[in-house]
A = this chain, B = another copy of it.
Amino acid sequence: MDDEKAADLFGALSNGDRLKVIRALVEAGPDGMSAGDIAGKIKASPSRTSFHLSALFDAGFILRERRSRSLIYQVDFKRIGGLVNFLMEGCCKGSSELRSCCSF
């Protein structure tokens, strides 16, 4: 992970529709949701939803699996965690004394 890559990943999160998708999938957990259900939940057209799902999928935030006619999406928590850890890397010069400044 470098700064430009991480910036692209944050870019994938910098859209209201895409955050609605992520948050819906965070709540859904391992069950996931179909593209159609996601479109209904975020109140967006199929093509618009698909556009945003692709952006999130390309960034690695969501996983996709076909179940019959539907595509089921799930959030990938590891990707979110990796990005947060990148941001906090080397926090406060690595000093354990100052470590509390990094907690949230």
Q: Which residues of A are at the interface with B, using a C-beta cutoff of 8 A? A: 3-4, 6-8, 10-11, 13-20, 22-23, 26-30, 77-78, 80-82, 84-93, 95, 98, 101-104
Contacts and interface: CB of A to CB of B under 8 A. Distances in A.
A60 to B, nearest CB: 14
How many chain copies does the complex carry? 2
A92 B27 contact: yes
Q: For chain A, what secondary structure do more than half of its interface residues adopt (helix, strand, loop), or is it mixed? A: helix
Given A3-B16, A10-B14, A78-B104, A87 B22 contact: yes
B84 A104 contact: yes
Contact of A3 (B19, B29, B87, B91): B19
Given A4-B16, A22-B87, A98 B10 contact: no
